[in-house]
């Protein structure tokens, strides 16, 4: 299993992220692939924390893959958790363009 620590983007994970992903039948390689090579279809800020975000990616037919990250500094992003989420809410409200 690839580890997110071995990438060019400064993305780090915790051991519990790998365990949770495995229990939720989410391949950690999919997480790495999405974070490094795809644009999210949605971004949501988590509560009032200025550095934590939920990134939503098209994943399966009716599911998005939600990757919760914490931006530690300009060169380091930590993955907090990953989970599948029904995409009906996002599809209902429509996709918003992400400027890059």
| 41 close to 95: Cβ distance less than 8 angstroms | yes
Classify residue 1: in a domain, yes or no.
no
Confidence (pLDDT) at 62: 87
| Boundaries of domain holding 79 | 11-89
Classify residue 53: in a domain, yes or no.
yes
Confidence (pLDDT) at 39: 92
Classify residue 98: in a domain, yes or no.
no
Classify residue 52: in a domain, yes or no.
yes
Classify residue 25: in a domain, yes or no.
yes
CATH number at residue 44: 3.10.450
Residues 27-65 have pLDDT tens digits of 988 888 898 899 999 888 877 777 899 999 998 888 899
**What is the tally of structural domains in the chain?**
1
Which class for 81: exposed (0-12), middle (13-18), buried (19 or more C-beta within 10 A)? middle
Sequence-distant (6+) residues with CB within 8 A of 29 are: 1, 2
Rounded Cα–Cα distance for residues 12 and 97 (Å): 27
């Amino acid at each position: 299993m690839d580890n997110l620590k071995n990438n060019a983007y400064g993305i780090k994970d915790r051991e519990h992220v790998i365990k949770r992903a495995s229990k939720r039948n989410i391949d950690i390689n999919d997480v790495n692939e999405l974070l490094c090579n795809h644009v999210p279809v949605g971004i949501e800020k988590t509560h009032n924390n200025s550095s934590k975000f939920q990134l939503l990616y098209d994943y399966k037919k009716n599911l998005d893959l939600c990757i919760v990250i914490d931006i530690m500094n300009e060169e380091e992003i930590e993955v907090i958790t990953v989970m599948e989420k029904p995409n009906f809410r996002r599809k209902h409200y429509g996709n918003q363009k992400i400027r890059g």
